[in-house]
Amino acid sequence: MKPEEFTLNLKRVRPDIERWTRLTAPRVAGKIAADHFTENFQKQGFVNGGLRRWKMARRKEVEPKTRRQRTLAGRPVLTGDTADLGRGVGYEVGRARATVFNDVSYARVHNRGVKNAGRDHNVVIPKRQFMGDSEELDKKIKKEIAKKLKRLSEKR
């Protein structure tokens, strides 16, 4: 392709690329991020430069005495009775951006960890991060956006 042809082609696809970047790319990135963070619950850890496994829950360390304790001990970390935390990951799309969130009230506590929790302020909840910056997530988003932009530029 000659430089003149390339410039002409670029001028033709520019409006489509700008529109796609502003409207569609955030939806694509938000969906990929929400899926990535939800997968962390299945992997039982946070994926960033490899899998960083969560600390085991205390309920798994003690011998269960009741049927309920045995049931809870068999469940993966951070799923509890309802698995609401893993299902609480979502995203909102704005103009040229996406915001990923977890709408469960205690999500931040588990994602960051906390000391001095509980009624007597003597409970420590360890950090079990499931959302945040991730090298693997960045690569997934960049790869998908590059693929979609290439397809868009080849349409014309």
Q: Does 80 or 52 have the greater pLDDT score?
A: 52
Query: Residue 124 falls within a domain, yes or no?
Result: no
Lowest mean per-residue pLDDT among 14-23, 78-87, 109-118: 78-87
Contact 26, 145 (CB under 8 A): no
Query: Residue 109 falls within a domain, yes or no?
Result: no
What is the secondary structure of 23-66 as a DSSP string?
IIHHHHHHHHHHHHHHHHHHHTEEESSSEEEPPPPGGGTSPP-S
Range of the domain at 91: 3-102+134-154
The pLDDT score that the predictor gives to residue 154 is: 73
Is the Cα torsion angle 136, 142, 144, 146 positive or negative in sign? negative
Query: Residue 123 falls within a domain, yes or no?
Result: no
Query: Residue 112 falls within a domain, yes or no?
Result: no
The mean pLDDT value for 69-75 works out to 63
The pLDDT score that the predictor gives to residue 60 is: 54
Phi, psi dihedrals of residue 96, rounded to the nearest 5°? 65, 25
User: Number of structural domains, the chain?
Assistant: 1
Query: Residue 125 falls within a domain, yes or no?
Result: no
The pLDDT score that the predictor gives to residue 49 is: 95
Query: Residue 107 falls within a domain, yes or no?
Result: no
Query: Residue 110 falls within a domain, yes or no?
Result: no
The mean pLDDT value for 42-53 works out to 94
Query: Residue 73 falls within a domain, yes or no?
Result: yes
Contact 20, 124 (CB under 8 A): no
136-147 per-position pLDDT tens digit = 999 999 999 999
